[in-house]
Amino acid sequence: MTQPLSTASPAQAVPAISARALGYRYADAAAPALEDVSFTVPAAEIFGLLGPNGAGKSTLLGLLSGSLDAQDGEITIAGEKLTKRTRHIKSLSAVVPQEYAFYESLTGRQNLDYFGSIFGLSRAERAARCERAIEICRLEQHLNRRAGQYSGGLKRRLNLAIGLLNAPKILYLDEPTVGIDAESRRFIMDAVLGLKALGTTIVYTSHYMEEVEELCDSVAVIDQGRLVLQERMGNLLRREGGQSLQFTLHEPDASLAALLAPFGATHVDYRTWTVIVPSARMPEVLSLLQRHGATFDRLQYGVSRLEKIYLDLLLRGAPQPEALA
């Protein structure tokens, strides 16, 4: 009988993922893809993995998911060494790649049925998992169309749904919202938050800093194969403070773009906004939003934007890794 992964009480706080001194070099490469990379990912949190193209993010995902073998260092998943329990540990995780990982000639439902059959589930269990993935990714109205006819947003949602079929405890998402419409982006972001609430640990790579800032509990930055930062998101954003007002509306509101234009407003999907406001003008902006009838899920002032911190970090070189607070 396969033994379960070791569990721990909250007081023991065993990380979902722990990497120590990871290294990897591709054959004939002039420099290692990864060198001396160490970090931890707490259980049931969303961990943002950032870095420019070619920094080593895809190699790291390959090592964590077991599709590549670490040449140096060690990976543990929930306290178990990946090299000792590779098959079992891999069965607990799923990778949703940036590339579309389904058959475009099949319908959405046919794709889900086919990939669900790979896990050796009973017909009833496979059907239940398919329906749950369909619900999470909001695909109910699109199942009987060929996947090749889907919009980019629907393809991303189908990609995610397939990744959920083995009910993963750890989910690796590689650019899950790249090149899609605002509605599908919101659906995927809401799905990610919902999965976290159910106890799923998520490693999230993206070039969209606003998404990472909204979703992630912790963030790490890789540059030229080395880890240059790892920190709790809240601590990181408070580091520089400044005049940034950030808020998330209860409902998207495109009309705010014109209203807040004098304050250099930016937004993700007309729901999450950032406005640069000197403290003396804060009452004016808040009064403006109140008269407009805005209702908030979140509002904070005096924190930095992740995009600025990220770009400054890459421009000034690679400081020593920061401890996860």
pLDDT in tens, 195-251: 999 999 999 999 999 899 999 999 999 999 999 999 999 888 776 556 778 899 999
Cα distances (angstroms) measured from residue 68 to each of 58, 160, 171, 227? 10, 22, 17, 19
Domain C-terminal end among 216, 236, 256: 236
DSSP H helical ranges for 165-272: 182-197, 209-215, 233-238, 256-259
**H-run or E-run covering 220:** strand 218-223
Residue 143 has pLDDT above 60, yes or no: yes
C-alpha 101/C-alpha 155 separation (Å) is 9
Nearest one of 70, 114, 227, 100 to 174, comparing CA atoms: 100
Q: How far apart are the first and last CA of the chain?
A: 39
Lowest mean pLDDT among 44-48, 295-299, 319-323: 319-323
Q: How many CA atoms lie within 13 A of 32 on its CB side?
A: 16
Long-range pairs of 63-66 with CB within 8 A, sequence gap ≥ 24: 63/19, 63/22, 63/24, 63/34, 64/17, 64/19, 64/93, 64/172, 64/203, 65/90, 65/93, 65/95, 65/172, 66/90, 66/93
pLDDT tens readout for residues 22-63? 999 999 999 999 999 999 999 999 999 999 999 999 999 999
**Which residue(s) pair with 18 in the sheet?**
40, 76
Contact at 8 Å (CB) between 189 and 214?
Answer: yes
Cα distances (angstroms) measured from residue 194 to each of 84, 200, 266, 302? 31, 9, 25, 28
Residues 72 and 22 in one domain: yes
pLDDT interval class at 84 (50, 70, 90): low
- Inside any domain, residue 150: yes
Residues 81 and 207 in one domain: yes
270: domain CATH number? 3.30.70
Residue 21 has pLDDT above 90, yes or no: yes
E-only strand ranges, 122-217: 170-174, 201-205
Residues 209 and 122 in one domain: yes
Work out how many domains the chain is built from and give that number.
2
C-alpha 14/C-alpha 42 separation (Å) is 8
C-alpha 147/C-alpha 155 separation (Å) is 7
Is-above-0.95 flag for pTM? no
Name the residue range of residue 246's domain: 242-302
- Within 8 A by CB and 6+ apart from 45, the residues are 16, 196, 201, 202, 217, 218
136: domain CATH number? 3.40.50.300
- Inside any domain, residue 310: no
Residues 117 and 66 in one domain: yes
pLDDT tens readout for residues 301-316? 876 778 878 888 887 7
Q: Residue 257: count other Cβ atoms within 10 Å of its Cβ.
A: 13
- Inside any domain, residue 76: yes
- Inside any domain, residue 314: no
